[in-house]
Chain A
Amino acid sequence: MTTLHSSKKFLPPPSERSTALGWVIKNLLNTWYNALLTIVTLGIIFVVLRSSLIWAFSAARWEVIPANLRLFLVGQYPSQIPGENDQVWRLWLDLYILAGIIGLSWGVWVRRRETVAGVLLGFPILIALLPFSLSVRALLVGLSVAGLIFWWLGKRWARRLQRVTISLWIAYFPVAVLFIRGFGAEEAAFMPNVPTRFWGGLLLSVLLAIVGIAVSFPIGVALAVGRQSSLPIVRSFSVLYIELIRGVPLISLLFMGQIMLPLFLPQGANPDRIIRAMVVIVMFAAAYLAENVRGGLQAIPKGQYEAAYALGLNGFQTMVFIVLPQALRTVIPVLVGQFITLFKDTSLVAIVGLLDLLGIARSVIANPKFIGTQREVFLFISLFYFVLSYALSYTSRRLEAALGVGER
Chain B
Amino acid sequence: MSNQPQIDGHNPIIICQDVHKWYGQFHVLRGINMEVHKGEVVVIFGPSGSGKSTFIRTINRLEEHQRGQIIVNGIELTHDVRNIEAIRMETGMVFQQFNLFPHLTVMQNITLAPIQVRKTSKEEAEATALELLKRVGIPEQAKKYPGQLSGGQQQRVAIARALAMKPKIMLFDEPTSALDPEMIKEVLDVMVELAQSGMTMLVVTHEMGFARAVANTMYFFDEGQIIESGPPEEVFHNPKEDRTKLFLSQILHH
Interfacial residues, chain A to chain B (CB-CB below 8 A): 301, 303-304, 306-314, 317, 321-322, 325-326, 329, 408
Q: Is B89 an interface residue (CB 8 A)?
A: yes
- Residue of B with least CB distance to A329: B103
Q: 29 A–B contact pairs at CB < 8 A?
A: A304-B101, A306-B93, A306-B99, A307-B95, A307-B99, A307-B158, A308-B101, A309-B60, A309-B88, A310-B60, A310-B62, A310-B88, A310-B91, A310-B171, A311-B88, A311-B92, A311-B161, A311-B162, A311-B165, A312-B88, A312-B89, A313-B112, A313-B116, A325-B103, A326-B101, A326-B102, A326-B103, A329-B103, A408-B102
Besides the contacts A306-B93, A310-B60, A311-B161, what 13 more A-B pairs have beta carbons closer than 8 Å?
A304-B101, A306-B99, A307-B158, A309-B60, A309-B88, A310-B92, A310-B93, A311-B162, A325-B103, A326-B101, A326-B103, A329-B103, A408-B102
Contact with A along B135-164 (1 / 0, CB 8 A): 000000000000000000000001001100
Q: Does the CB pair B99–A312 fall under 8 Å?
A: no
Contact digits for B84-112, partner A, Cβ 8 Å, 1 yes 0 no: 01001101110101011111000000001
Evaluate contact between A304 and B117: CB separation under 8 angstroms.
Answer: no
Q: Is B113's CB within 8 Å of the partner chain A?
A: yes
Q: Once the chains are docked, how many angstroms separate the CA of A67 from the CA of B112?
A: 60
> Given the complex, which residues of B lie within 8 Å of A301, measured CB to CB?
99
Query: Shortest Cβ distance from B216 into chain A, in angstroms?
Result: 24
Closest to B92 in A: A310
B92 touches A317 (CB 8 A): no
Q: What residues of chain A lie closer than 8 Å to B93, measured between beta carbons?
A: 306-307, 310
Cα distance A313–B116 in the bound complex, in angstroms: 8
Complex Cα distance A313/B88, Å? 9
> Which residues of the other chain, A, contact B171 by a CB distance below 8 angstroms?
310
The interface residues of chain B lying within 8 Å CB-to-CB of A311 are 88, 92, 112-113, 117, 161-162, 165
Provide the bound-state CA to CA distance between A325 and B171, in Å: 27
Q: Count A-B pairs with CB separation below 8 Å.
A: 59
Q: Which residue of A lies closest to B171 (CB)?
A: A310
**C-alpha gap A212/B133 in the complex (Å):** 46
A312 B117 Cβ-Cβ under 8 A: yes
**Contacts A307-B99, A325-B103, A329-B103 given: A312-B85 contact, CB under 8 Å?**
yes
Size category, B interface: 20 to 34
Q: Give the distance to chain A from B14, nearest Cβ to Cβ, in Å.
A: 16
A326 to B118, CA, bound (A): 23
Q: What residues on A are CB-neighbors of B100 within 8 Å?
A: 307
Query: A381 to B137, alpha carbons, bound, how many Å?
Result: 63
Closest chain A CB from B177 CB (angstroms):
14
* Chain B residues with CB below 8 A from A310, complex form: 60, 62, 88, 91-93, 162, 171
Mark B residues whose CB is within 8 Å of A. Answer: 60, 62, 85, 88-89, 91-93, 95, 97, 99-103, 112-113, 116-118, 158, 161-162, 165, 171
The one of B89, B92, B112, B165 in contact with A321, judged by C-beta atoms closer than 8 angstroms, is B112
Interface pair A313/B103, CB less than 8 Å apart: no
Q: A306-B95, A307-B100 are in contact. Are A313 and B62 (CB under 8 A)?
A: no
| B60 pairs with A307, CB closer than 8 A | no
Given known A-B contacts A314-B85, A317-B116, A309 and B62 have beta carbons under 8 A apart: yes
Closest residue of B by beta carbon distance from A315? B81
User: B82 → chain A, closest Cβ, in Å?
Assistant: 11
| Central interface residue in B91, B112, B165, by most chain A CB within 10 Å | B112
Option from A303, A312, A329 in Cβ contact (under 8 Å) with B113? A312
- Within the complex, what minimum Cβ distance (angstroms) separates B64 from chain A? 12
Q: CB distance B60 to A303 under 8 Å?
A: no
Instruction: Assess A321 versus B116: contact at CB under 8 Å? Given A310-B60, A310-B93.
Output: yes
Measured between beta carbons, the chain A residues less than 8 angstroms from B91 are 310
Which residues of A sit under 8 angstroms from B117, Cβ to Cβ?
A: 311-313, 317
The answer to whether B88 and A303 have CB atoms under 8 Å apart is: no
The smallest beta-carbon distance between B229 and chain A, in angstroms, is 25
3 residue pairs, one from A and one from B, having the closest CB atoms: A307-B99, A311-B113, A310-B93
Best-buried of B60, B91, B100, B113 by chain A (most CB within 10 Å):
B113
Within the complex, the shortest CB–CB distance from A274 to chain B, in Å, comes to 38
CA distance A313 to B111 in the complex (A): 12
A313: contacting residue among B60, B95, B113, B162, CB under 8 A: B113
| Nearest CB of A to B175, in Å | 13
Question: How far apart are A58's CB and chain B's nearest CB, in angstroms?
Answer: 59
Q: Which of A303, A325, A408 contacts B99 (CB 8 A)?
A: A303
Give min CB distance, B141 to chain A, whole Å.
18
